[in-house]
Structure 1
């Protein structure tokens, strides 16, 4: 389907209400028992190595090729259990002392087993070191468990990581609560377990857990879909919107951010119909929208670029494109298919 342009639409369906509930209390309980660390420290101890300009199969027929890219290590490239979805970075955050990207992955094993939820990967493009951390939901009684969502997009604002929850809204994780199990015990517990068991902590073998601290939920249930997240540092907004297959009516909305990093209001600033199907990521930058469009049958997608109210144009794009972020003056995305997984950048 051709791009028909980005047009203003009703923003009301995207209205959110803050729903903290016991999330902050549960996270505080867990943080009182497991010591916190910083993203910079996690990156310094990264236990995996990315490969610069590795696994080029994701490029397909795209010409010109991406300016730069970082593939994951062979095990993460090939795993059938975890799929990269969301992408954000240190430029979005503005509060990290080293350059890095953050990628959300959702768990989808070929054989049905217990849920392992969502993990976030912090990757330093200078050192190529990276580390996975497990996102969890904690309760005031000190228990915690995995979060079963698709995590199709993420946005990092200050110390807060926003993660898309498809039918509900946005989940929020305070990275001041990036917890290191080794501060509480000498090992990482049972790799087949998660949560607290017999006085010990477990996280499926992951060293780091990040408990959810807040939530923004749709005021009208299922009035909109949250498939991706984008941060526009220029105007201080956060965007999210809808993946739709076979329809060009998918919408994207933006919310104003407060200095704290929280949404200033659950009522969006604006909303638009994107005019193309299968949008996996969207971000605004300098009054221009960039839409990451996938294609069926693992064919090359399109990067759709345009301003609201004007016709959009399509650029060559990769196979399996997902969420979008702007970093170091470039547009970055991440790809999801096995052995074609990479964080890649192109000129804006």
Structure 2
């Protein structure tokens, strides 16, 4: 185990500032996910940690030892940092056990380290298979085993589940998480997949335009985003105009409890954030509800997402989790209630360049 500390790191390619004063600490034995859209600098950060890119400014430390700065840098092969690439990149002419044992010294080979890490990733009995006889998920497991085999202080995972289908991705995420935990590895996962980051990581660092915008436990980043952009990027968001009065705000869905995003959130006009799972359905005649019309329905099996429009034209979204419930049809009227606390932001803050946060309602 080793702590990874990144302090004030900058990296530019010509006039393009890929990293701008990045600060990040990965505690010993923890898994931190760097989450951000394509082109935000997260892969560049990983390459700087691995030693594939030189720093323009800042320092990188592993277990208190400086391994990179603009003036002195430890070569990649001496950093003892392992990387799992997007595709396994296995040696096609070597059997599974030989791929895993490739970087081990003689004593580790004799001690059966390769077989031990193959067991960690669920590939006991696959030692003699060739890479082309493995599925994509099995190849990625071998890549993880190979990274863990020499017991590196830090493991870097560069979107390792990208090429897999959804069901296999979820299974492999859990198995890799268990293997990292069992081996006590400190790990950095780079991903643009919100579910991947929130489900796997001890902490999530959200990155945009070469900067870490917010970092913290997944629950905190999801429930208390630092700004509207983060709110829209880490999950679906419902934005409502509101008037704040103390710890409450009047919205088109009624009066809700609010937590200001910062001390600069005024009393008076604000924008409030709700998550779709905070909006629940009831019969339209139920007391204390606001009537809305269903304008779109996306059914996913384990849940359903509804795009709705209030009578005043405000678009909202609600997520239904009950697998036994039949979601209302497009055109149906439903009653809506809000559960939990909303997040209040200044009215002039907008999620610029954020992905769509609520299902768009078709014009009617």
TM-score over 0.5 for the pair: no
Higher fraction of strand:
1
Higher RCO (CA-CA < 8 Å; seq separation 6+): 1
